[in-house]
Structure formats: structure tokens, C-alpha cells
Structure 1
């Protein structure tokens, strides 16, 4: 609206004596004409003094054909900016009868991913000086075999003090333990052509630098800065993949989110996917769901961290979501973690089991008498005969002093 048109509107108002009659003469809605009057008042075209500093025209009320009352109110403050470390969670608005915004409420929340995430991943990539290049496959692998390496509840970054829990554990101990046990179990396993490294969730003890569980907010005993833990975790999984490549022609990697690391597990997957983009022998499963399914010959394998559903529900989900694979296979298994100890049961012909962890007990677990054993294993499946064997690496229980 230019000043000339606003002056024309003011003249209509003077001639007709009311906003309604003037709006009818201008062939516009009454609310539109009122808006014109406010603009004319703000620009000082209505014949009254300028708006006071820090105020804005609120309403314009007609007194007669040649006069008006002008109501002023405090002008809006500065433009809102999202605080550092926060993200917009939602926006609510109060609108008038014409749908125009009168007020807005902007709700924010703290970012769930640490600001050091990108730097942490970049530092790992820099140490390798680029992406992984293709490597030569081992000789004489068996195409009728598949080796599955479940990694359950590694809880990388967990801190445990021996005087309190009976066993010392930190970022370095946890990394060295998984690397050494993975090397041993790979050496024991048969030379299957294909291998699956199945991270069953809670690979990281904490999801971000706040060091609390994402859903319940329970405090966690964590060793080291989040940057350090995340960098170490990416490097450690690379080491596990490289160990498997020495024995198997191709390696499929799936990182399932746990209740401790729903976002950190995504970061791990993205980092590995970028790093192994040039290695045709490694496939990083980028499926964003919390479920994993893989069909190998006559066997259908399912997996989930196990924190949101019971075994019976997980079996029904697998049968429903993989109807074709379910009907075309004779053997069905489902793997999970979360509870840190071994369980095995058969549900409608499906072998369901959870696995032990290599991690030590933190103060919470120790105080609640969670005294499960510690081990890692590989499971070998035959293309037509189902499960064909297992190899296990056990950790001896820590004896009290």
C-alpha cells in the first residue's frame, strides 16, 4: 500500500463517516479497510502526531468524518533467535478471524546430538587419510555357510571402579576387550563366504555428552568426553570389520539402536557407510528401522535390541513383516540383547535368544545384583540345514579379593 492509496482511503472515510460505509464504497472487506486505517495512522497520514518511540498503532477508531482516536501499544521486541544448543520443538500461533498471526509461541529443546559429533567422526576419517580402498578376499571360502557375530550391549565408555563393583572398566579396557575377543572368535569360526556383524544395540553407554539415558534420564557412569568415546567407538567397529574381512569374502554390518544409544548408533552407521563406500566387500546396512531381517537359504534371521517388545511380539512382527521370506524358509531365529545375559526360548517354532555382554557392571548393575557372565560368540548357519555350529570366547569371572 503506497501513501497515495492510503490518502484515498482516508478521503473515503471522511466522505462516508464510518469504516463500514467506506469499506463498502471501496468494495473491500471491513477488516481490510481497518488495516488501511492502521497503516495510514502509522505513517502519520491521519493528522495526528508520530507514534511514540517503542510503540506501534494498536487500533484506529472513528470519531467523526474528520477525526480519529488512535490507541497505541508497546511495539514487539527483538527478533527471536533459537538459543545455542537448542532446536525448535514446535510452534503455536494465535490468529485473528482472517487467519493473520497475532502471537506466536516457539518451543525449543536441547539438541540430543553433541556438538562435537562431526569433529569426532572427522578425526577418525583423518587418521585413515580417506575412505577404505578395496582389499583382496581370502581364498577358499564356503558359499554354503554364513557366520553371524552378535555384539550385544558393548556399553563403550562405561566406567566401573573395582572397589565399588569388583571390576575396573573404562573406555580403554572395553575397546581392548572387544578387539581381542573378536580376533579370537573370528579365528575359531569357519571360513564362511559371508559374515554378518550384528550390533544388537547399546554399543555406546551414553547417547550424548549429558551422560544420561535418553528416555528415563538416569545418570550414567561414563569414562571420557563424548568426542573421545564416539571416536573410539567408530575406530573399534572398523577394527572388528577388518578382522572379519581376513576370514570372510563379504561382511554385512548392521547397527541396531538401543535404549542407551538411539542417536549415537545412527552416527556410527553413517560414519561407517562413508568410510567403506569404496570397499565392495563391506556392506553397511543403512536401514533406519529398529528391526533387522536377513534371509540366508532356508533360514530367516531377525533381530532387535529387545527393549520395546517381548519375544512373542518380535516373532509375530517378523512373520508379518517378512511374509514371503517366512513362507519360503524352514528355520527361523530371532536375536536380541538388552538384558545382558543369555536367555533362550522357542516361540511358535522360532528360536529366540539374547546374548551376554563383554562389558563390566557399573554401579547401578552391581547394586541390583545383575551378575550375568561375559562372552562373545559366532553362529554359523548352513544354506539348507539351518544352524550348523557355534564358537564362543568366555571371560573368566572376576574373583573378589
Structure 2
């Protein structure tokens, strides 16, 4: 059976199953593999599942644009390739886009549930060794902006989803390698902070600011989820992990959904803990260190020390080394206040068109990590530059 013939049969089978009342992509893919006797070495169920989702999405798109679909059929145009169309008569020439909003929230939720059911949750509790001089490692990939698009033709440097993922993975590996000389007994992984570039299908931030984007919003959500899973799977092999999530201005809603999805993914893992509430400031105590994190687009920097004292009274009284790691501005700023050091972290993302035009560019791009001892606070810092 040729690949083209197999794909045609798969599409026909999808239509048959959907008409028969099936709507779960995973169930449809498994049924297709069974009915067509597809060899897993030739085509995986996940591959077919992707075909099912795309075919159903395109079918809905045709149904919501029947006149355009009919016109394409009459002219021999592949409807799937139509992104912009014109409706012309002797009085008007109207440009429009076919209705395409992507999957609904309910569809994405069902996809996430299916993925969790298909994931093998055999996270047995890892017994850790005791160190004589234990340390905490903070890894903070700040302002990743999965879905941001920058062209070197305009800005001097490319940036897209693929580059974002590559840099974060490389940066985390770099921090781990640099910190390998310390006895790491605990890792704090800071999540959120504009992990996603946009928050709606209209390619805008939460507040409605238009963005240059790479890919569809739902694809970028799933890519970011996979990125976090890959990182946490790697970190938990080294030490127990505590995830601190910071809501942010680019992805206030989708970022929260993503953090909650990751918490659900590791719901049976005893070696990973989560603080992924919608609270804008989070705190964590390690030995004599109190560590706070926030995105940095809300409370003023000079107010963060007093907010820390008010919002974490017990931890404040039990510690003498206090730090707040902030994000949002994409460049390094550090200042010592009375009893608290506030530090803004660098970002691995490149400047897009707006930032380039306004001159917000050329700060070092990096992912940063910090080592805290139980008794002496922050004793080392690492920077992985790009």
C-alpha cells in the first residue's frame, strides 16, 4: 500500500467514524490502525492521531465557510491551503479570512486528558542520599516567549518557537553542568513569566497588544507543555524539584492553564512539588534563605521587600538571607535593599520588530541559575549565554 493511498484511506475512515459518532482523536486513531491493519513501524498511532485532529479541524473549517469551499472545488483549488480570500463583484472587492479559531477549550482539555491517560505514570519515589554540605539550585528560564517571531532581515537575529525550545534546553543543560560541583539536594524551577507569547487566537497578549507570532496558539501551548515535561523529567533525576509559577502579562490565562496542566501531569510524582496558584508573588524557604519570585510587571521593585515581609511573616522571621527574583524587563538589574536583594533576570529571547524599532535590544541573552547554601544564602551564580 502506497503512502498516498494509505493517507486517502485514513481520511475516508476518519469521515466514516466521525459520522458514526466518534469524536475522540485517540479512539479514532486506534480504530483506524485496527481496521486498516496499519503496522506501527510504518505509521505510529500518534502520527495518525495528528492526522485525525487536523482533518476534523479542516472539516469544521469547510462547514463554517461553505461558499468558499464550493468556490475552491469549482476552481480546483485546495481549500486546505487557503489563508485569505476575496469576494469581488462590480461594486466591491472584499478581502476576508476563512473562519479558523483552532480547537475549543473543551477539545484541548479532552486532548490533555487523553494524553495523561496514555502517559505511563510510574513515578516511583526516589530515595536521595544525604550530603554533608547540601545546596539548593534555582533554575529560572525567564521570558521564553514560545511563539514569538523575529526576522534577522529586520532585527538582525532570528527567533521562533524552535529556537526558543532549543535555547531553553541548552540553557538548562548548561546550568546543570556548571553547578555539577555542588551537592544539589533540592532544585527550585521557576515557571511561567511569559512562557507563551500570546494569550488568544487573535495573536494578542492578555491585554490585547498585537504580536508577531510563529505558529498557532494551540501548537505553541502543546510545545511549551512538552518543553516543561522534558525539563522536569531531567531535573527530578538529579534532586527533588519544587516548581514556582509566576503569572505574567503576555499569557495571564494560558500560562496558568499550562502550569496547572503540568501539575496534573506529575500528580503521582512524590519528588516534585508545585506552587502554581494564580498568586503573583511566591515564596520558598531553604535553610536560612527566603526566596521570592514574581514576574515584575505589577508591584514596584522597591515595594517587594516589604511585601515579602508581610506575605511570608513566618519564613521572614526564620531567615536572614532574602532574595526576590523578578523578570519581565529582559535585562539585568540588581539592587540591595534593607535585608533583601532584588534581581531582574536576563531572557533567552531575541528582540522582535517592536523592540528593535524602539531600541530595546542588545542586552545579553541568557538563562541563569543560582546556588544557595543552607547557612550562607546565595553562594554562586551561573549564566548560560547565547
Could you tell me the TM-score, scaled by structure 2's length? Answer: 0.68
Closer, same or farther: CA 260–322 of 1 in aligned 2, 3 Å: same
Closer, same or farther: CA 156–360 of 1 in aligned 2, 3 Å: same
Aligned residue runs from structure 1 range 240-319, under 5 A: 240-248=231-239, 250-319=240-309
Q: In 2, Cα distance between the equivalents of 1:127 and 1:163?
A: 39
In structure 2, what is the equivalent of residue 134 of structure 1? 123
Closer, same or farther: CA 170–116 of 1 in aligned 2, 3 Å: farther
User: Which range moves more in the overlay, 229-238 or 308-317?
Assistant: 308-317
Q: Using the TM superposition, give the Cα deviation of residue 301 of structure 1 relative to its aligned residue in structure 2, in angstroms.
A: 0.8
More helix by share: 2
Closer, same or farther: CA 125–233 of 1 in aligned 2, 3 Å: farther
Q: In 2, Cα distance between the equivalents of 1:294 and 1:369?
A: 36
Closer, same or farther: CA 226–127 of 1 in aligned 2, 3 Å: same
Q: In 1, Cα distance between the equivalents of 2:106 and 2:262?
A: 13
Q: Which of the two has higher C-alpha Rg? A: 1
The answer as to whether partners of 1:197 and 1:253 remain within 8 angstroms in 2 is: yes
Could you tell me the TM-score, scaled by structure 1's length? Answer: 0.66
Closer, same or farther: CA 289–115 of 1 in aligned 2, 3 Å: farther
Aligned mate of 1:198, from 190, 202, 218: 190
Q: Using the TM superposition, give the Cα deviation of residue 391 of structure 1 relative to its aligned residue in structure 2, in angstroms.
A: 2.1
In structure 2, what is the equivalent of residue 381 of structure 1? 372
Aligned mate of 1:211, from 203, 213, 219: 203
Per-residue CA shift, 1:112-144, capped at 9, x if unaligned?
x98544544654665562263214648646473
The answer as to whether partners of 1:184 and 1:393 remain within 8 angstroms in 2 is: yes
Q: Using the TM superposition, give the Cα deviation of residue 197 of structure 1 relative to its aligned residue in structure 2, in angstroms.
A: 0.5
Per-residue CA shift, 1:253-283, capped at 9, x if unaligned?
1221111011112111211111101111111
The answer as to whether partners of 1:158 and 1:221 remain within 8 angstroms in 2 is: yes
The answer as to whether partners of 2:246 and 2:276 remain within 8 angstroms in 1 is: no
The answer as to whether partners of 1:125 and 1:275 remain within 8 angstroms in 2 is: no
Q: In 2, Cα distance between the equivalents of 1:136 and 1:175?
A: 28
In structure 2, what is the equivalent of residue 345 of structure 1? 335
Structure 1 stretches of at least 4 aligned residues deviating more than 6 Å after TM superposition: none
User: Which range moves more in the overlay, 296-305 or 320-329?
Assistant: 320-329
Q: What stretches of structure 1 of length at least 5 have no aligned partner?
A: 1-112, 396-401
User: Which range moves more in the overlay, 329-338 or 130-139?
Assistant: 130-139
The answer as to whether partners of 2:125 and 2:269 remain within 8 angstroms in 1 is: no
The 3-state SS of whatever aligns with 1:309 is coil
Q: In 2, Cα distance between the equivalents of 1:379 and 1:119?
A: 39
The answer as to whether partners of 1:116 and 1:227 remain within 8 angstroms in 2 is: no
- How many pairs align? 281
Q: In 2, Cα distance between the equivalents of 1:183 and 1:120?
A: 30
More strand by share: 1
Q: In 1, Cα distance between the equivalents of 2:281 and 2:102?
A: 25
The answer as to whether partners of 2:206 and 2:253 remain within 8 angstroms in 1 is: no
Does the alignment pair 1:236 with 2:227?
A: yes
Q: In 2, Cα distance between the equivalents of 1:272 and 1:283?
A: 11
RMSD across aligned positions (CA)? 2.1
Q: What stretches of structure 2 of length at least 5 have no aligned partner?
A: 1-100
In structure 2, what is the equivalent of residue 6 of structure 1? none
Q: Using the TM superposition, give the Cα deviation of residue 310 of structure 1 relative to its aligned residue in structure 2, in angstroms.
A: 1.5
